[in-house]
Amino acid sequence: MKAWSEHRGRVLPLLRNDIDTDQILPKQFMKKTDKIGFGKLLFFNWRYLDENGTKENPDFILNQEEWSEASILIAGENFGCGSSREHAPWALVDYGFRVILAESFADIFYGNAAKNGLALIKLPKQILESIADKVNINPNMTLHVDLSKMLIFHGEEEYSFSMPKEISERITNGLDDIGVTLKHWDKILAFEKQMSLN
């Protein structure tokens, strides 16, 4: 995973609530045994009219020219609810998204996203709607997301957000969790020994 701490990008407004992982990456593509190429399958059932993914749905925002460069997604509440599939963040990241702004995120999805360099940022509804209004008028507008300052800049305006340090550091350092945990190997073995005595 590519580490990053600042991102500038265009914004795609998809202000729906309860966008579940079945919509983000449908089950038929979970039969893959690698992590590659999920981007073209993102939002498959909304994005394509046929089962082979050859006929794009022109009404779906992702297929519209003015939004094709977007790397920041705006959604409603409970984004990523449903299944625990990490295939959902794989698809979002492979497509090119780096940041999702939403009212709230499902718990399992929240944990999975950071491990793949995808920053999930909670913002109040009014701010999300105001950004969406602006971007609807000017799809070329960009946001500048700074994870170390926990600020989003848009021209003169800035929005602050909060994110647990462990989550933001995972994205900014791109660290391998297993490597970090293995530093505690002695403690794990000691715990196991204690447990077998109890």
Partner 1 sequence: MQGKTLYDKIWDSHEITKEGEESLIYVDQHLIHEVTSPQAFQGLRDAKRNIHRLDKTFGVVDHNISTRNRSIDSAEPISKQQMVWMLLNSKEFGVNVLNVDHPDQGIVHVVAPELGLTLPGSVVACGDSHTSTHGAFGCLAFGIGTSDIEHIFVTQTMRMKKSKTFLVKLQGEVGLGISAKDVALFVISKIGTEGGQGYVIEFQGEAIRKMSMEERMTICNLSVEAGARSGMIAADETTFSYLKDKDNSPKGDAWLESVNKWKNFKSDTDAKFDKEIELDLKECYTMVSWGTNPSQVVSIDGAVPDPESNLDSHKKTTARLALEYMNLKPGLRMQDIKVDKVFIGSCTNGRLEDIRRVAEIAKGYKVHPEVSAIVVPGSGRVKRNAELEGLDKILLEAGFEWRHPGCSMCLGMNDDHLQEGERSASTSNRNFENRQGKGGRTHLVSPEVAAVTAILGKLGGKKQLEEFTRTNQMIKGEK
Angle among Cα 21, 109, 89 to the nearest 5 degrees reads 70
In the complex, the smallest distance separating the C-beta of residue 123 from partner 1, rounded to whole angstroms, is 15
Strand order in the sheet with 99-102: 119-122, 99-102, 72-74, 6-13, 142-146, 151-154, 157-160
State how far the Cα of 175 lies from the Cα of 79, in Å rounded to an integer: 25
The one among 94, 100, 116, 143 contacting partner 1 by CB under 8 A: 116
# of chain residues touching partner 1 (CB under 8 A): 52
Residue number with CB closer to partner 1 (83 or 142): 83
The one among 9, 25, 75, 86 contacting partner 1 by CB under 8 A: 86
> Do residues 119 and 145 make contact, with C-beta atoms less than 8 angstroms apart?
yes
Say how many residues make up the chain.
Answer: 198
Give the residue among 100, 107, 73, 80 at the shortest CA–CA distance from 24: 80
The one among 40, 148, 166, 174 contacting partner 1 by CB under 8 A: 166
In the complex, the smallest distance separating the C-beta of residue 182 from partner 1, rounded to whole angstroms, is 7
Chain residues binding partner 1 by CB under 8 A are 16-18, 20, 22-23, 26-28, 30-35, 45, 51, 77-78, 81-87, 89, 104-108, 111-112, 115-116, 125, 164-166, 177-178, 180-182, 184-185, 187-188, 191-192, 195
